[in-house]
Structure 1
Amino acid sequence: MGREFVELFDRWADNYDKTVQGVEEEYRAVFEGYDTILEEVAQRATGNILEFGVGTGNLASLLRQKSCKYMGVEPSEKMRKISEEKLSIALYDGDFLSYPKPPWPIHAIVSTYAFHHLTDEEKSQAAAVYSQLLSQGGKVVFADTIFINDEAKHDMIKKAESMNYLNLAQDLQTEYYTTIPTLQTLFEQEGFTVDFKKMNSFVWMMEAVKS
């Protein structure tokens, strides 16, 4: 359920905000347009919002300006503390599949740069859970590294290796990055209408609306 990456999140917490602003050349393309991506996720989310993978609170700071109610879930204790201090909020310990029951109806479920920490089987489980949690018209809005197909993923790994971006290449091989057809099928099977929008050379935004 992504918990195997918590140690990585804890190590990354202090430098995460610098990384997303492009200071590390190896990951610059992954986070290209980061602020715009977060702003569009926040714009698409309406009503009471549940966020998974809050991280250091960058998306949460936008969501809390507009949502009726906001609930944030983050598995990394270190990242939770950074967010809580930054935004003066209380977050919940949890992940995409294991989290406290929301105290009120949820209208939108959001996440950025995190859903790839679940295997495809776990993503399928998550889609089923979210279908039950949301009423008709409710949304799942996720922005994450996704590939058009397996060949595109393979090509990106080879490109990273050719540029000596070995950490990036390893990430692409060891974390659970999926493809658009797979993700679309998983959510359509649970009664969602799914659309994708390309945000940069790595990141796509998925908006899945409960039918």
Structure 2
Amino acid sequence: MGTEFNDLFEEWAEAYDSFVEGQDPEYKEVFARYEAILDRVVQQSFGNVLEFGVGTGNLTKKLLVSGRNVYGIEPSREMRRIAKQKLPVGTSIREGDFLSFAAPADIDTIVSTYAFHHLTDEEKRLAIEKYGQLLREGGKIVFADTIFTDREAYDKTVQTALAKGFTNLAADLQREYYTLIPIMESMFADYGFTVTFTRYNHFVWVVEAVKNSERGI
């Protein structure tokens, strides 16, 4: 993952929590059922958790309350600052991203919300390969992110956003790297994961991948 979105992360930091609370009409549907999405990620995680894209710390806080050991990775300095204000002193949040990070050797679950789309499909594949090497059999990846069933669904979503005058949302959809379910399913299968997709709103699916073997590694 390059640094092309770092300026955006810094821009969004102060306003991010207002978005997730549904205060911006452009992004209200993107964050519909937000708490349920975070709760699902927490429920499907276990043990020592590596979290990518900590953001303002909303998922991290839930993970800690549920008794998980969390090692957080976040590229934005401003996001890290806000997260640390919410979280217990000593919570581990390090600078890094999906592909460039330092992590403990003993990781059971890798989680992320609203962030994996910042990687190109090639970068997503590299990341999944790396996580397959990091996790033991039975380890899990649990991501919540915007994904589309097919290209037609993606195109229709962009056109609907434009028709509603949601120009910022349309620009985000066209600038970032939203992938398709069949592509992501194939990536996980190639590195020995069984994956399921559960839809939570028009945009967001929770992706749960369990490592079954060393196949592909």
Same fold per TM (> 0.5)? yes
How many Å separate the matches in 2 of 1:34 and 1:94? 25
1:30 alignment counterpart: 30
How many Å separate the matches in 2 of 1:192 and 1:10? 34
Q: Aligned AA for 1:123?
A: K
TM-score calculated relative to the size of structure 1:
0.97
2:76 alignment counterpart: 76
TM-score calculated relative to the size of structure 2:
0.95
Matches within 5 A, 1:50-89: 50-87=50-87, 88=89, 89=91
How many Å separate the matches in 1 of 2:170 and 2:49? 33
8 Å CA contact 1:29, 1:200 repeated in 2: yes
Runs of 4+ in 1 over 6 A off after TM superposition: none
1:91 alignment counterpart: 93
SS of residue in 2 equivalent to 1:72: strand
SS of residue in 2 equivalent to 1:158: helix
Deviation at 1:67, TM superposition (A): 4.1
* Structure 1: unaligned runs, 5 residues or longer: none
Larger relative helix fraction: 1
| Identity within the alignment, % | 52
Q: Does 1:116 align with 2:88?
A: no
2:127 alignment counterpart: 126
How many Å separate the matches in 2 of 1:121 and 1:67? 34
How many Å separate the matches in 2 of 1:69 and 1:168? 34
8 Å CA contact 1:148, 1:179 repeated in 2: yes
SS of residue in 2 equivalent to 1:28: coil
Q: Does 1:40 align with 2:30?
A: no
Q: Does 1:178 align with 2:190?
A: no
Q: Residue deviations 1:160-186, cap 9 Å, x none?
A: 011111111111111000010011101
Q: Aligned AA for 1:77?
A: R
How many Å separate the matches in 2 of 1:209 and 1:107? 10
Deviation at 1:74, TM superposition (A): 0.1
Q: Aligned AA for 1:169?
A: A
